[in-house]
């Protein structure tokens, strides 16, 4: 019997990913936050895009706390 079973879902934060500003056409970093299924790593709901690292950390921490899920961060500041 496994002492630490894998939760059914986790909050996953990744980034920075390159993205283009539609108005100016310049690249800027984007961080993504989503709830993903732990078994196959597919998003189970909306994938949120944050334009700052601090906002992405704040959002992912709030999501994990509110939903009582584990937080997995694969993100770096810019």
pLDDT of res. 60 = 98
pTM (2 d.p.):
0.82
pLDDT of res. 61 = 98
Domain ranges of the chain: 9-75
In the sheet with 48-50, reading across from the earlier edge strand, the strands are 48-50, 27-37, 9-20, 70-75
**pLDDT by residue (tens digit) across 12-55?**
999 999 987 666 777 889 999 999 997 888 899 899 999 999 99
């Amino acid at each position: 019997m496994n002492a630490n079973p894998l939760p059914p879902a986790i909050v996953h934060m990744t980034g920075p990913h390159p993205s283009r500003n539609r108005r100016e056409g310049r690249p800027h970093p984007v961080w993504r936050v989503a709830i993903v299924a732990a078994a196959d790593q597919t998003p189970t709901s909306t994938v949120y895009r944050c334009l700052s690292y601090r906002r992405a950390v704040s959002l992912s921490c709030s999501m994990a706390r509110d939903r009582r899920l584990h937080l997995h961060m694969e993100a770096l500041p810019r």
